[in-house]
Amino acid sequence: MGGSTSMYFIFTVLFIVTVIITQFMNNMAACGVISPIAITIAGTLGADPRAFIMAIAIAAGCGYMTPFASGTNQRMSVFAKSTIVDYMRYGWPLIIITYLCALLILPHVFPFF
């Protein structure tokens, strides 16, 4: 059985990996790629996978750092004349805020064990 520190580390790694791949692919596909990995890890450690799955779902919605992470970003970048640098500059603080909220709330709503 893993300790709570390792659970938070796995939570963070899954969140970061999902955020990174969702910048370059559809968020539904990112969930489909990472979710089986999270379920397997949770099953191996004897943990409840719900917190990990919710973290992946939230992280997949964090397509803030590139204009091609979301169709909305693509359409709005034309009208706003935004560049990739603008998305990266303003996207990472939103991702950090989302991560901190998920890290503080999800383990209480969906306990690891």
pLDDT at residue 3 greater than cutoff 70: no
pLDDT digits (tens, 9 = 90+) for 31-77: 999 999 999 999 999 999 999 999 999 999 998 888 877 777 777 77
Closest to 23 (Cα-Cα) out of 66, 85, 77: 66
Query: Token pair for residue 70?
Result: 């979301």
Share of the chain above pLDDT 90, in %: 61
Query: What is the Cα–Cα distance from 111 to 91, expressed in whole angstroms?
Result: 29
Query: Token pair for residue 66?
Result: 């590139």
Residue 84, φ and ψ in degrees, nearest 5: -60, -35
Query: What is the Cα–Cα distance from 78 to 86, expressed in whole angstroms?
Result: 13
